[in-house]
């Protein structure tokens, strides 16, 4: 079982729709959480960090549920430009110290006109 | 600031050839990483460095070597390229181990 799991999609939604992605992680010692966005043939870029209290950035809302070990990303009023792959990222401490970053395989989103 | 840069952008190698990928960052970050990305696999960590002069193995280190002689540069070497190393290679850097990582534009490598 992968340490970070995402539904690969693709999610096909019309413009203006609301879409939600979930991501589960298996290690309860995970400490920090992020959503990255990756456009086709480009590098990943940070979309937003995910905080325990939940956080919002414009049309994007991220939530963390430590008890159930999942994080979510909600996109409201989808735009064509939101079409991309969304990567769930989890940081935890290595057993020997330092941090380990684990990337999910990503969820593909296509927003249609 | 250029951020994270990688050279070359594309490369085609024959099996058995060697090459070095260069990553440079101008953000004074301590941590640097090399990943490979294959379809359906997500990003997999090859090697990383927590500071100048240090390197450590990641998830898939076999067939690769790295060096971090200067804080701003992180080199990835393929000693004897194999077709299984055909991939997109991304370099990244971060201020600390639990911070956001900034990625370079990637190197597309094909090994024939």
Alpha-carbon gap, residue A30 to B69, rounded angstroms:
31
Residue B95 structure tokens: 């201020």
Calculate what percentage of chain B has a pLDDT beyond 90: 90
Q: What is the pLDDT of residues B55-106, one digit of tens each?
A: 999 989 999 999 999 999 999 999 999 999 999 999 999 998 888 999 999 9
Residue B101 carries which DSSP code? P
Put simply, whether B104 touches A (Cβ < 8 Å) is yes
Does residue B39 have a cis bond before it (omega within 30 degrees)? no
Q: Which residues lie below 8 Å from residue B86, measured CB to CB, with a gap of 6+?
A: B109, B110, B111
Judge: A87–B42 Cβ closer than 8 Å, yes or no.
Answer: yes
Of B41, B43, B98, the CB nearest to A91: B98
What is the enclosing helix (H) or strand (E) of B89? Answer: strand B87-94
Share the mean pLDDT of chain B.
95
Test A99 with B98 for CB contact under 8 angstroms: yes
More confident: B23 or A93: B23
Locate the chain A residue with the closest alpha carbon to B51. Answer: A98
Q: Of A89, A108, A104, whose CA–CA distance to A40 is shortest?
A: A108
Pick from B65, B32, B34, B68: nearest CA to B52? B68
Q: Tell me the pLDDT tens digit for each residue of A41-97.
A: 899 999 999 988 889 999 999 999 999 999 999 999 999 999 999 999 999 887 666
Distance from CA of A38 to the nearest CA of B (A): 11
Q: Across the interface, do B50 and A101 touch by the CB < 8 Å criterion? A: no
Residue B1 clears pLDDT 80, i.e. is over it:
no
Put simply, the chain A residues between 88 and 107 with a CB less than 8 A from any chain B CB are: 91, 98-99, 101, 103-106
Q: How many CB atoms sit inside 10 A of residue B55's CB?
A: 18
Cα-flanking dihedrals φ and ψ of residue A81, to 5°?
-70, -10
């Amino acid at each position: 079982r992968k340490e970070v799991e995402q539904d690969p999609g693709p999610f096909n939604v019309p413009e203006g729709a609301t879409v939600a992605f979930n991501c589960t992680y298996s290690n309860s010692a995970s400490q920090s959480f992020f959503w990255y966005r990756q456009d086709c043939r480009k590098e990943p870029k940070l979309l937003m960090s995910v905080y325990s209290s939940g956080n919002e950035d414009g049309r994007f809302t991220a939530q963390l549920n430590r008890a159930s070990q999942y994080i979510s990303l909600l996109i409201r009023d989808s735009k064509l430009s939101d079409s991309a792959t969304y990567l769930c990222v989890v940081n935890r401490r290595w057993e020997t110290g330092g941090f380990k970053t684990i990337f999910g395989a990503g969820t593909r989103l296509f927003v249609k006109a | 600031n250029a951020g994270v840069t990688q050279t070359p952008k594309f490369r085609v190698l024959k099996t058995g050839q060697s090459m070095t990928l260069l990553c440079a960052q101008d953000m004074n970050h301590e941590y640097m990483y090399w990943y490979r990305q294959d379809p359906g696999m997500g990003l997999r960590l090859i090697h990383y460095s927590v500071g100048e002069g240090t390197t450590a193995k990641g998830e898939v280190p076999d067939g690769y070597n790295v060096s971090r002689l200067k804080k701003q540069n992180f080199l990835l070497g393929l000693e004897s390229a194999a077709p299984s190393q055909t991939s997109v290679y991304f370099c990244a850097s971060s201020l600390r181990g639990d911070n956001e990582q900034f990625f370079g534009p990637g190197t597309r490598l094909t090994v024939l």
